[in-house]
């Protein structure tokens, strides 16, 4: 029983970590000046079809990160030295998965199987401790569709005269269907180590609050 309790605790920690960590691939290109005394900015207006309430809520996330870096939002276009633009996309990539199931243990959750514990199509290599009459028999096959969501966030900061200063792209793939849950981590990843090394891809891991 003590062994099973330790095993269950380890599984819980593993699954909790996977559920709360957002891993993103980030690449930034920039020609950021050594001195930029005036960091006033305005957001560049998006195309009318993209100007949604969801889009505006993500602008608030960008606004918060810029504030941490010493930027200030100007009251008008004429008063701003910088222009900030944002684009994002979410693409659903369904994947057909064939799962093998032991007919002797068919309930939900984590149950002993012929090879170990199964749950949510993941296998954990522990030795079975019971007699399974189907140990060498046929296994049921089940077809499922899993959804992987590919997200991309693009941010740019330009001078008012159009000179490009900073372009960053954040890419993330996860099983989470709700973009609002993931976007705070993507925006924070875009500005992690700002401005960073130009043209050097890197990976950022952030935990969702």
69-83 pLDDT, tens digit per residue, is 999 999 999 999 999
- Beta bridge partners, 150, equal 91, 173
Q: What percent of the chain has pLDDT over 70?
A: 70
pLDDT at residue 4, as a whole number: 44
In this predicted structure, the answer to whether residue 24 has a pLDDT above a threshold of 80 is yes
In this predicted structure, the answer to whether residue 46 has a pLDDT above a threshold of 80 is yes
pLDDT at residue 26, as a whole number: 98
pLDDT, greater one: 14 or 169: 169
In this predicted structure, the answer to whether residue 156 has a pLDDT above a threshold of 50 is yes
Report the range of poorest mean pLDDT among 41-55, 60-74, 109-123, 134-148. Answer: 109-123
In this predicted structure, the answer to whether residue 129 has a pLDDT above a threshold of 90 is no
pTM above 0.75, yes or no: no
- What ranges do the domains of the chain cover? 23-94+148-207, 103-138
Please state the rounded mean pLDDT for residues 91-116. Answer: 59
pLDDT at residue 114, as a whole number: 42
In this predicted structure, the answer to whether residue 175 has a pLDDT above a threshold of 90 is no
pLDDT at residue 98, as a whole number: 75
d(CA 156, CA 168): 6
pLDDT at residue 118, as a whole number: 43
- Alpha-carbon distances, residue 160 vs 32, 81, 157, 169, 194 (angstroms): 14, 5, 9, 21, 20
d(CA 24, CA 32): 23
In this predicted structure, the answer to whether residue 121 has a pLDDT above a threshold of 50 is no
Report the range of poorest mean pLDDT among 6-20, 105-119, 166-180. Answer: 105-119
Please state the rounded mean pLDDT for residues 33-39. Answer: 93
Fold (CATH) for 23-94+148-207: Double Stranded RNA Binding Domain (3.30.160)
Contact 25, 171 (CB under 8 A): yes
């Amino acid at each position: 029983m003590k062994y099973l309790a330790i095993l269950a605790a380890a599984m819980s920690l593993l699954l909790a970590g996977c559920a709360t960590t957002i891993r993103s691939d980030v690449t930034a290109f920039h020609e950021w000046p050594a001195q930029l005394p005036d960091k006033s900015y305005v957001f560049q207006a998006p195309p009318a079809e993209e100007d949604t309430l969801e889009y505006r809520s993500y602008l608030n996330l960008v606004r918060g990160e810029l504030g941490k870096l010493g930027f200030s939002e100007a009251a008008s276009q004429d008063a701003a030295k910088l222009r900030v633009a944002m684009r994002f996309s979410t693409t659903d990539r369904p994947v057909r998965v064939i799962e093998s199931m032991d007919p002797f243990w068919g309930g939900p959750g984590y149950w002993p199987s012929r090879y170990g514990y199964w749950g949510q199509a993941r296998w954990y290599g522990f030795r079975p401790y019971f007699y399974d009459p189907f140990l060498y028999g046929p296994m049921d096959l089940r077809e499922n569709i899993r959804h992987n969501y590919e997200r991309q966030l693009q941010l740019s900061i330009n001078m008012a005269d159009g000179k490009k200063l900073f372009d960053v792209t954040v890419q993330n793939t996860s099983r989470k269907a709700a973009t609002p849950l993931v976007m705070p981590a993507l925006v924070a990843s875009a500005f992690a180590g700002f401005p960073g090394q130009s043209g050097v891809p890197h990976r950022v891991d952030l935990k969702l609050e």
